[in-house]
Structure 1
Amino acid sequence: MATDRDFVEYVTEQVGLGDRLTSKKMFGEYALYLDGKVVAFACDNSLFIKPSAAATAIAPRLPQRPPYPGAKDYPVADELLDDTDALRLLITDTAALMPLPKPPKPRKTTGSRVRATPAV
């Protein structure tokens, strides 16, 4: 089941970090980014936090399950959706532990494709 956009909007409102928390749709589900770092996934209208020491320290009793078939277990933070302060702390502390995204590889240029005009 794909995640509803309304669910993602609710999560971003609850976290309360404004434009710092963004989302990107992927295969019917969403990745959530804080300052460009992936911190969580919204799958099947549930919030899956990237596994990290932050999740273990802040919310060690969160249930865990895979966000999609074949994935490892992730903490599911649905029970924190109504606790703005705890959810914000979990998201920001998770982001602090995540590496910066790798810069995109530059595109290879293959020269110009200008048509040669016949000599007259």
Structure 2
Amino acid sequence: MGTRADTIAHLLDALAPLPLAARKMFGEYALYLDGKVVALVCDDLLYLKPTPGAKAALPGHATGHPYPGAKLHLLVTDALDDPDPVIAALRGIAADLPAPKPKKPKT
């Protein structure tokens, strides 16, 4: 089915306190914070990486697979109802993940 661009625009607007960036990948989207992939949006659903920071901000949250063969992620269906816990979870994920590796220069 694929994620619609208006879903991404709506999510980025609701989570506006964060400098999130979205990149389209294979008909779905990855959300980046501080250059790190912190979430996926697949079939118009928001999936957060299940890091300790995310689990602490969203205890007991439902999980799901963003695509067949993927690891379990936290499934956030109410992100727009109360974005503050989701924003805290996204900040926690970014803090938990290592810095992105520098890209090799092209020769």
SS in 1 for 2:56: helix
Tell me the residue number matched to 2:16: 16
CA contact (8 A) 1:3 1:44 kept: yes
Question: How far is the alpha carbon of 1:63 from its aligned partner?
Answer: 1.0
SS in 1 for 2:84: helix
| Pair 1:89 & 2:88 matched | yes
Question: Which structure 1 residue ranges, 4+ long, deviate > 6 Å from structure 2?
Answer: none
Tell me the residue number matched to 2:43: 44
Root-mean-square deviation over aligned CA pairs: 1.2
CA contact (8 A) 1:39 1:50 kept: yes
Which has the larger Rg? Answer: 1
Gaps of 5+ in 1: 109-120
Gaps of 5+ in 2: none
Question: How far is the alpha carbon of 1:81 from its aligned partner?
Answer: 2.5
Tell me the residue number matched to 1:60: 59
CA contact (8 A) 1:50 1:74 kept: yes
Number of aligned residues: 107
| Pair 1:6 & 2:21 matched | no
Give me the identity figure in percent.
Answer: 43
TM-score by length of 1: 0.83
CA contact (8 A) 1:16 1:84 kept: no
